Amino acid sequence: MQALDIKLMRDFRRLWAQALAIALVLGCGVAIFLTSFGMYNALEDTRAAYYERNRFADVFSETRRAPAPLAREIAAIPGVANVETRVVGSVILDIPGRVQTAVGRVISLPNGGEPQLNRPILRAGRLPAPDATGEVAVNEPFAEAHGFAPGDSFQANLNGRKRTLTITGTMLSPEFIYTIGPGQMMPDNAAYGILWMPERAAAAAFDMTGAFNSVALSLTRDANAAQVIDHLDDLLDPYGGFGAYGRDTQLSNSFIDAEIAQLKNLALVLPPVFFGISAFLVNMVLARIIALERSEIGLLKAVGYSDAEICQHYLMLAGLVALVGIVLGFGAGSWLAHALARLYADFFDFPYLIYRVSYDAYAISAAIALAAAGLGAVRSALAAARLSPAVAMQPPAPPRFSRSLFDRALSALRLSQPAMMVFRSILRWPVRAGLTTLGLALAVAVMVAATFTDDALDRIMDVAFSQSNRQDTILLFSEDRPLSVVEEIRRLPGVLAVEGQLFLAAELRHGHLTKRVAVESRPPGTDLSRVIDGQGRVVAPPPGTILLADRLAAQLNAGPGDVIEVEFLGNRQETFRLPVAGLVTQYFGLGAYVDYDTLNTLFRQAPQISSANILLDEAREDALHARLKEMPGLAGTIMLTESRRSFQDTIAENVVIMNTIYATIAILITVGVAYNGARVQLSERARELASLRILGFTRAEVSSILMGETLVLALAAQPLGWLLGWAIAWSMTEGFTSDLYAIPLVLRPATFAQASLVVLGACVGAVLLVRRRLDNLDLVAVMKTRE
């Protein structure tokens, strides 16, 4: 090894603590980059392969009842490659050993065998026999939730008749990667299952012999999806079509898209914070090293080392720090990406996982890390290279200071001598003080951005469950029922109160913008299910108008006073123009609300409902479910009590994990900034602090000078950190918002206080580590060092 190489390794060993602090911060950026992109690639690659191998459809639509020969006309639409018509329907299931009802979605299997589109993967057993009337295959998560195996059986209420169904096999389908039932907020595999039934049996059960009520299409490569959807709607409208939609808005695929978008946002927001802080830390440490090694630099140049070699030497020192950070980041990032990708694969019901973190991701993260370290080092390295031997061998000229307005202000305050030294050091090195403050502020911001989600989810829980939906159970009917059915439900065991609600599929249009949603309507005086505005007030649409969720209004570019077209789908093929009465805040889905009497008047019909909201006596819940399992015309039940509990448990677990991760990140940033800042101060002021000890200052007074500057900067960083945290939290809420859900921006004083306490505590801990070095200073040796 050459002399400079030996010096490089010795310097690196001597600075191991500072180098490790910087490397940990840099490694966090690399790890988060790899984790987010690794999971992104895993989800994208697995989904793409699954869709391609199992022929996931491009266009979907449902209708009331269309004749089977219509399939030939659909196949003739330009751009259509394949057509698969099906019979689908919802049934109430009676599972052995389960008191509560479960809901099954029945999907017909072609008489010829496997479907051509949305082909399920057989995981165990066999497909039902084409002529069988009591055989079904079920989705694997549903079977696992109940411990089912091929040969087991359960009962189903098919069109009012109780039938025993025998399981022949378990399957997974690309159509149900994220299996969520109607009205559910999270998957509940015990309460909702997919049943594949032979076409003849399904058609007989739902009175669809010679007809279909669901169709899926695959398109040619050059097809125009929008035109195909329009043609399909034209063909299905006379038969009660509910509107065709593309793969992008298919429910299961939409959830995966939302998760992938969150991973992209994570990769764009957090890693730059770590890389920027790392560049600052490298700059701060290297600048001090070069200042201390001026004589060595002059000596090296005097014996023949070139400017380029000196510059390269210090750049390599920064490169070694970056290399350690890259290795740590590669290890942590690969492990996290693999572990979390497996969790996602289980959560999303993939049959397999194509896991890989591309070499490009490793190369890009390493290149960014090296660039960050190089950017921080290049200014100091070039300054070292420009030093001439004669100048370098001499002590640097003392900085020229003059009494400023701030000095006069400090004098007027009559502060103690240690306090004066702290503030003068900050004011005389404003750039370094400012960057240190920024680094600590970013640590606070990370904590604020992480912990605000806890309060946001509390707000969602309060609005969604305590204020808007206060019922215990929701009954879903297969067809709209007259309002008088409410009295029948009121006589069911355990029912304390019942209210009806109407949902109608519709397409809203404002100018060239369109959106398909479910229009909701409630009879006057309902109290179990309410519409809540942003101020927590109960609102109702005035007669002849429509209320829109604010996110829906933004997509339609509509506001209060604008008139929109509402085209109702299904059996009610009519279009009306309704003015927008106002906007409401909604966290789940995109809501549109119309006055109940207005809808009945527009459709010239007696009052009807499509669901019933129930307030339940828990003591009689078992008796209610026993009756519901026998009730004809019931398509599903939603137990909101269970949904609340599941949502709270899942969110609480995720919040603890995420808060722990982000707290660790904030602590690493704080330690990296505070520790290196204090070490630089100690090296700069060792002689000065030793002089104070000799003059009689106590260890506590001398330590207050060393610790005071860092802690003053940490306190100054808090307001800036709160502001940056608000900005990051706002960007997260915007980035995570989709048609499926929205996260409110809720920031309470306790959120800022918690973030500040974590960062200040970590800052004190880092400075105390440096203080131990101060206590162990050899005063005589320090006083012998040259200024």
Interhelix angle 430-461/417-428, rounded to 10 degrees, is: 90
Helix (H) or strand (E) holding 116: none
In this predicted structure, what is the pLDDT of residue 317?
Answer: 85
In this predicted structure, what is the pLDDT of residue 217?
Answer: 94
Contact 505, 516 (CB under 8 A): yes
How far is the C-alpha of 483 from the C-alpha of 319, rounded, in Å?
Answer: 74
How far is the C-alpha of 574 from the C-alpha of 566, rounded, in Å?
Answer: 8
Q: How wide is the angle at C-alpha 705 spanned by C-alphas 281 and 758, nearest 5°?
A: 55
In this predicted structure, what is the pLDDT of residue 674?
Answer: 80
CA end-to-end span of the chain: 32
In this predicted structure, what is the pLDDT of residue 249?
Answer: 85
Enter the tokens of residue 300.
């090296």
Contact 298, 391 (CB under 8 A): yes
Contact 181, 192 (CB under 8 A): yes
How far is the C-alpha of 576 from the C-alpha of 563, rounded, in Å?
Answer: 10
How far is the C-alpha of 667 from the C-alpha of 531, rounded, in Å?
Answer: 42
Enter the tokens of residue 669.
């940033």
In this predicted structure, what is the pLDDT of residue 88?
Answer: 92
Helix (H) or strand (E) holding 773: helix 749-775
Surface-to-core class of residue 222, CB atoms within 10 Å of its CB (0-12 exposed, 13-18 middle, 19+ buried): exposed
In this predicted structure, what is the pLDDT of residue 777?
Answer: 60
- Report CA dihedral (161, 167, 171, 174) to the nearest 10 degrees: 0
Name the nearest CA neighbour of 173 among 239, 262, 250.
250
Enter the tokens of residue 89.
């329907």
Contact 656, 469 (CB under 8 A): no
Instruction: Report mean pLDDT in 10-residue bins for the chain, 787 residues.
Output: 76 80 85 80 84 93 91 92 92 88 91 85 91 91 92 85 90 90 77 92 89 93 90 90 88 82 73 81 77 74 79 85 89 79 74 77 87 85 76 62 60 65 72 81 84 78 78 87 89 90 90 88 87 79 89 89 88 86 82 89 88 88 86 82 70 66 77 77 70 71 74 88 87 71 81 87 82 63 51
- Tokens 């560049």 sit on residue: 279
Amino acid at 469: N
Helix (H) or strand (E) holding 222: none
Enter the tokens of residue 33.
């980059």
Q: Which residues of 33-68 are buried (b: 16+ CB within 10 A; e: fewer)?
A: bbbbbbbbbbbeebbeebbeebbbbbbbbbbeebee
pTM over 0.95, yes/no = no
SS (H, E, C) 717-729: HHHHHHHHHHHHH
Enter the tokens of residue 538.
């109960």
Please give the radius of gyration of the chain, using alpha carbons only, rounded to the nearest integer: 34
Surface-to-core class of residue 750, CB atoms within 10 Å of its CB (0-12 exposed, 13-18 middle, 19+ buried): exposed
- Report CA dihedral (629, 634, 639, 640) to the nearest 10 degrees: -160
In this predicted structure, what is the pLDDT of residue 193?
Answer: 92
Number of C-beta neighbours around residue 718 at 10 A: 19
In this predicted structure, what is the pLDDT of residue 85?
Answer: 93
